[in-house]
Structure 1
Amino acid sequence: AAVLYGYYTGADLHAKVTKGVQASIVQTALLYEKAGVKGDNLKALQDSMHQAGAPIVTIYPALLTVTLGVVACLNLIVLSRIAARVRLPVYLGDFKKYRNPEPLIWLLIAAGFGLLVPENLVYLASLNVMIVICTMYAVQGFAVITHYFRKLAVPAFVRVIAWLLLIFQPFMVLVVAVLGIFDLWGDFRTPKKQENL
Structure 2
Amino acid sequence: MPPRPAPRGLDAGLRLAAVAGVFLVPAVAPPLAGVLQLAGAGAAAAWLEGWRPAAAIRGVMAAVGAALLASALLLGGRGGLWILETGLLAGLLLRARHLAWSGPRALWTAVLVLAVSLAFFLALGSGGDAGQAWEALCGEVGRGLESSFGVLSNRPPPGLTPEEVQAEVAALRARTLHFLPGILFLSLFTVALANLFVARLLIHRWAGREVFGPAFRLWRFPEALVWPFIAAGLLSLYGRGGAGAVGDNLLLGLGGVYLVQGLSVIAFHMERRRVPGYLRWGFYVLLSLQWYGLLSAAALGLLHTWFPLGRGGGAGDTT
Structure 1 match to 2:300: 179
* Residues 133-165 of structure 1: per-residue CA shift (max 9 Å, x gap): 111111110000001111112223322221012
Say if 2:172 is the partner of 1:48.
no
Q: Which amino acid aligns with 1:114?
A: L
Of 129-138 and 110-119, more deviation after overlay is shown by 110-119
Say if 2:200 is the partner of 1:72.
no
Whether the 8 Å contact between 2:218 and 2:311 is mirrored in structure 1 is no
Which of 170, 176, 187 is matched with 2:291 structurally?
Answer: 170
Look up the SS of the partner of 1:70 in the other structure: helix
Which of 231, 237, 249 is matched with 1:128 structurally?
Answer: 249
Look up the SS of the partner of 1:108 in the other structure: helix
Cα distance in 1 between the residues matched to 2:197 and 2:149: 38
Cα distance in 1 between the residues matched to 2:302 and 2:146: 40
Structure 2 match to 1:26: 146
Say if 2:180 is the partner of 1:60.
yes
Say if 2:212 is the partner of 1:92.
yes
Say if 2:102 is the partner of 1:102.
no
TM-score, with length taken from structure 1: 0.81
Give identity over the alignment, percent.
Answer: 24
Cα distance in 2 between the residues matched to 1:127 and 1:23: 23
Q: Which amino acid aligns with 2:186?
A: V
Cα distance in 1 between the residues matched to 2:306 and 2:130: 44
Tell me by how many angstroms 1:40 deviates: 4.5
Q: How many residues align?
A: 191
Whether the 8 Å contact between 1:14 and 1:57 is mirrored in structure 2 is no
Gaps (5+ residues) in structure 1? 193-197
Of 182-191 and 57-66, more deviation after overlay is shown by 182-191
Cα distance in 2 between the residues matched to 1:178 and 1:145: 12
Tell me by how many angstroms 1:84 deviates: 1.1
Distance 1:147 1:47, change over 3 A: same
Distance 1:116 1:32, change over 3 A: closer
Whether the 8 Å contact between 1:59 and 1:124 is mirrored in structure 2 is yes
Tell me by how many angstroms 1:29 deviates: 4.6
Cα distance in 1 between the residues matched to 2:140 and 2:312: 51
Q: Which amino acid aligns with 1:59?
A: F
Whether the 8 Å contact between 1:138 and 1:176 is mirrored in structure 2 is yes
